[in-house]
Amino acid sequence: MLMLPQPSRIEEPAMAPAYRADHIGSLLRPKALLDARANKDMTKTYPAEVTEAITKAEVDAIKDALKEQTSRQIYPLTNGEYPRAIFYSGLFENLHGMTTYPALPVPEAFRTDFPTTDGLLKQFGFKTRSCIIATDKIRFNDASPPYLAEWLQFRDLLPDEKAWTKAKITIPAPSWEHVQLKPGTAYTPESGYKDDEAYFRDLATCYTKTIKALYDHGCRFVQLDDPHLTYFCDTTFLSGCAKDGTNTDDLLDLYIKVYSWILEPIKSDSKYSDLRVGMHLCRGNMAGSTHWVSGGYEKIAQKLFNDAAGIDTFYLEFDDEERAGGFEPLSCLPRGKNVVLGLVSTKVADIEDKGMLVKKVEQASNIIADAWGVDAKEARDEALAISPQCGFSSHSMGKGKGMTWDRQWEKLELLRDVAKEIWS
């Protein structure tokens, strides 16, 4: 039997998930939006130009997505990430001190045996990858805070202020650039940074200001997308780090600690008491149902659940046990935190069996109940919700095999109906 560390009993008020049927944020892009994009090159994820035609296509697409979400009662409301070429664009390139390198060589500029760059080279023939490197001290852009324009565009399409509280915005993990690049190269000597902690301290300050700016303009739900944390569950990534001389325990500790630096100034202020912050983990979601890594959460669960201070909700991939492992790591979940089980796949078009989804929720509930010493219903009601394992289109040009616009909504409606059956 798999033995895992027991959860810490943190003294926090219980916070149930915001929605029993949730989703990760990105939606399939309609053809009109894809046609309007000036940049259709998948290797260029930081497009510099946004034309009036593209903006109009974004707004039209968001309006259509909102009609679908509200008419089908799919929550939280999102903009589908339609203003972005890929889920992580929009933050790093909008900070002072950051410089975009559009074509770093693969694999030379990146970590040894890094699953993403190796996969892009082998499967798609990508010999370069764009990244953003600190070439000066990282500073917040007060004149144009990251994602504020995107949020206001979305917010102004919602019917009223009450609807704002039902909306979510996604932002990339602070480690996104750092984890990919060869150790010591996320910042140049000219930047003034001598070590990773100094780099992340300044970056964390920018994240704190970004989230506060979104809150001050009505946003109450932020999701941080951190797929790279699952790389610490993957043997290829771990062995590549060993070749580079990187201690992965220390690296994981650093990445999780950064969340505390970001969120502690927010969560300690009663002004932000109604802000929800979630973290999404997956194993890759490229075009054609491609994933990059495999492995269960056992290696990271204890640190993830207990040390990522300020995270209320964890969105975890569980649609495929071979790729993502079983529910046993949920025994490390402390009370006061909750998990959204990613049970429905965006990678395959087949519709999941409703009975199977109910059974999986029961299995997860029993594991948490045993760890907490409560009955399964109490654990389920306090700690669990359901969702797809990832977004439907992490990259604007990508989607799962056979996935269609209609099937996307059918899957989200299935989650809605299962949630009503379980929690009503």
pLDDT in tens, 177-198: 999 999 999 999 999 999 999 9
pLDDT of residue 118: 78
Mean pLDDT to the nearest integer, 230-255: 95
Mean pLDDT to the nearest integer, 305-331: 90
pLDDT of residue 328: 96
Burial class (CB in 10 A: 0-12, 13-18, 19+), 326: middle
pLDDT digits (tens, 9 = 90+) for 165-179: 999 999 999 999 999
pLDDT of residue 5: 44
Mean pLDDT to the nearest integer, 4-10: 40
3 has pLDDT over 50:
no
Residue type at position 205 = T
d(CA 367, CA 321): 16
Residue owning tokens 């965006």: 346
Residues contacting residue 148 through CB under 8 Å, at least 6 positions apart: 210, 213, 214, 217
pLDDT tier at 37, thresholds 50, 70, 90: confident
53 has pLDDT over 90:
no
d(CA 407, CA 346): 10
Contact between 65 and 79 under an 8 Å Cβ cutoff? The reply is yes
CA distances from 53 to 32, 84, 116, 240, 278 (A): 10, 15, 32, 44, 33
Q: At what angle do helices 354-372 and 376-383 cross, to 10 degrees?
A: 100
Mean pLDDT to the nearest integer, 65-71: 97
pLDDT of residue 283: 78
Mean pLDDT to the nearest integer, 36-43: 60
12 has pLDDT over 50:
no
pLDDT of residue 395: 77
Mean pLDDT to the nearest integer, 271-286: 89
Helix (H) / strand (E) element for 342: namely: strand 338-344
pLDDT of residue 325: 83
- CB-side neighbour CA atoms (13 Å) of 76: 28
Q: Give the percent of the chain with pLDDT over 90.
A: 76
- CB-side neighbour CA atoms (13 Å) of 152: 9
Query: Which of 5-19, 24-38, 354-368, 399-413 has maximum average pLDDT?
Result: 354-368
pLDDT digits (tens, 9 = 90+) for 97-125: 999 999 999 999 999 998 888 777 777 78
pLDDT tier at 389, thresholds 50, 70, 90: very high
pLDDT digits (tens, 9 = 90+) for 334-375: 999 999 999 999 989 999 999 999 999 999 999 999 999 999
pLDDT of residue 373: 97
A 10 A CB-CB count for 402 gives 11
d(CA 269, CA 271): 5
Local structure of 391: helix, strand or coil: coil
The mean of the pLDDT values for the chain is 90
Residues contacting residue 336 through CB under 8 Å, at least 6 positions apart: 10, 11, 12, 13, 14, 15
pLDDT of residue 14: 52
Q: DSSP string of 98-128?
A: EEEEEEEETTTTB-TT-HHHHHHHHHH---E
**In order of start, what are the domains of the chain with their CATH numbers?**
31-423 (3.20.20.210)
Instruction: Report the 3 state secondary structure along 11-77.
Output: CCCCCCCCCCECCCCCCCCCHHHHHHCCCCCCCCCCCCCCCHHHHHHHHHHHHHHHHHHHHHCCCCE
